[in-house]
Amino acid sequence: MNGYAGRFLNVDLTAGICSSFTLADTWLKKFIGGSSLAASLYLEKFNLHADPLAPENPLMIMTGPLVASGFPGSSRFAVAAKSPQTGIWGEAACGGTFGPELKRAGYDGIVITGQSPAPATISIINGTAAISPADNLWGKDIYEVTDFFKAQNKGLKVLAIGPAGENLVKFSAVGNDKAHFLGRTGMGAVFGAKKLKAIVVYGNQAILKANEEQYKKIFKNALAEIKDSAFAASLHLMGSDAAVELVMMTGDIPIKNWTRG
């Protein structure tokens, strides 16, 4: 379908094998990307009773049909698995560069199973996926790891964990290019349990739209509304800090796990 790269990547870290698979259009229409699509695959295909840190617990990275379209606010992607922090379904989402680059590299999502016998990195370059050793990176923080890969190719987008994830800290985060973080439900610990240090992607594949002219019209209208929004202007200037006062008033600040604020 338009809006999709058209395939997903399956990585078996135990066997050291990368392969691709597709999903029926009916499935993609019913579960439109992100954590919804990840949850549907989890419920349909995996052992729901597996320990969150066991090789059998799948780690899924999913985009949606608007990702890589260039539409405002459409860069977000989800990382999902059974949570080591809660013991139930866990998901985290962030914006940034990784989601769009994964789509441009030829994949709508990644399903990772198993456990590498040693620290490993997954690389996805224009549709070609490979697993590489990462012993030299184990113990390094997210910033060092990102700089290591950027030194090889500035265009690479990096998803990585630091020592917290390696040591299975149950609230550890995953970092995307040092500026965006998947901070909820301990997805960094799932990376660490699989001995997965980082995923790097690069691609230049175009994602087709069903109606380019209609898209341009809606894009132009959305951009005009955003420019007229004081809240959007504040976000542009200050980032997420601009939202603090508003979400304090609406009760969506997680002070003491949402018991205050």
Chain Cα centroid distance, residue 229 = 28
CATH topology of domain 8-202: Aldehyde Ferredoxin Oxidoreductase;  A, domain 1 (3.60.9)
The tokens for 39 are 């949850």
Computed on alpha carbons and rounded to an integer, the radius of gyration of the chain in Å comes to 18
What are the residue boundaries of the structural domains of the chain, listed by start?
8-202, 212-250
DSSP string, 179-216: TEEE-STTHHHHHHHTTEEEEEEE--PPPP-S-HHHHH
136/216 Cα distance (integer angstroms) = 46
**What phi, psi does 73 have (nearest 5°)?**
75, 10
Q: Is the pTM of this model over 0.85?
A: yes
* Strand-pair category, 59-62 with 77-82: antiparallel
> How do the pLDDT tens digits run along the chain, 261 residues long?
899 999 999 999 999 999 999 999 999 999 999 999 999 999 999 999 999 999 999 999 999 999 999 998 899 999 999 999 999 999 999 999 999 999 999 999 999 999 999 999 999 999 999 999 999 999 999 999 999 999 999 999 999 999 999 999 999 999 999 999 999 999 999 999 999 999 999 999 999 999 999 999 999 999 999 888 888 888 888 887 888 888 888 888 878 877 876
